[in-house]
Amino acid sequence: MTTKQERLASVQRERAARLRRENAPKKKLQTGIPEVDNARATPLVGSDEVGFGAWAGELVTCAVASPCDWDPHDPLVRDSKTLSPAQREEVYARYFNLEAEEEHKLVISPYAIEICEINEYPIHACLKRAHRDAIAGTFWRLPCLPIVVVDGIVDPELEKGLTYAPKVFCLPKADSLVPAVALASIIAKVTRDRMMVEWDKQYPGYDFASNKGYGTPRHQEGS
């Protein structure tokens, strides 16, 4: 098979896969929140964080806007904690690019709170701001105010930073129930893990590339 034929076959396979995804029956969300589960035409924004309990490194959030009925039919779009580092990198590469965002009608918005800000302000205030800024970063491409689902129990208080704030639902384990939150958890995790690898190069001895800034025994020994 020539290179041209291979490219054509690849395009045809991708087109067939896309049609299968588009025509496959969509699973209804089952969060237990009627406004979320019964939404139809409203965009949905899911937001999650990584680094809230860490000893070192940035606090990273990511918000993903999607159609409310988005179902990627992808077994790897799930809670980032259930994936290996290689699987998370695979999902990151698959979805965090302009072509994939356009195909799936997504808007992906990561945000990081720098260490100096974490040291200066209460950690819950930092977490709220990180969610707010990540979520607001999706709005410029949305046709109307979305429904917002945040993983956990901390209300990001969107009304503090927005003139018109959408309704927000805080939902523990949302990364296991809402695909947009699951993808957000993966993008945030990969983003922060890469940051910690860079920190490890600057501060050897703390094993940041492995522990990602969390309080492991080796991190304690380094401190």
Q: Residue-wise pLDDT tens for the chain (223 aa)?
A: 567 677 766 666 666 666 555 555 566 788 888 889 888 888 999 999 999 999 999 999 999 999 999 999 999 999 999 999 999 999 999 999 999 999 999 999 999 999 999 999 999 999 999 999 999 999 999 999 999 999 999 999 998 877 778 999 999 999 999 999 999 999 999 999 999 999 999 999 889 999 999 876 665 665 5
pLDDT attached to residue 12: 66
The answer to whether the CB of 196 falls within 8 A of the CB of 50 is no
Closest CA to 111 of 136, 89, 91, 148: 136
Cα–Cα distance for residue pair 184/34, rounded to 1 Å: 22
Instruction: Assign 204 to helix, strand or coil.
Output: coil
Q: Which residues pair with 112 in a beta bridge?
A: 60
Cα–Cα distance for residue pair 69/52, rounded to 1 Å: 29
Cα–Cα distance for residue pair 87/146, rounded to 1 Å: 29
Copy the structure tokens of residue 43: 């965009």
| Beta strands 43-50; 59-67: pairing state | antiparallel
Cα–Cα distance for residue pair 73/36, rounded to 1 Å: 19
pLDDT attached to residue 128: 96
- Domain locations along the chain: 38-222
Closest CA to 55 of 119, 110, 126: 119
Q: Name every residue whose Cβ is closer than 8 Å to that of residue 80 and which is 6 or more positions away in sequence.
A: 48, 50, 88, 175, 182, 185, 186, 188, 189
pTM, full prediction:
0.86
Cα–Cα distance for residue pair 104/92, rounded to 1 Å: 14
Return the CATH number of the domain spanning residue range 38-222: 3.30.420.10
pLDDT attached to residue 178: 97
pLDDT attached to residue 3: 74
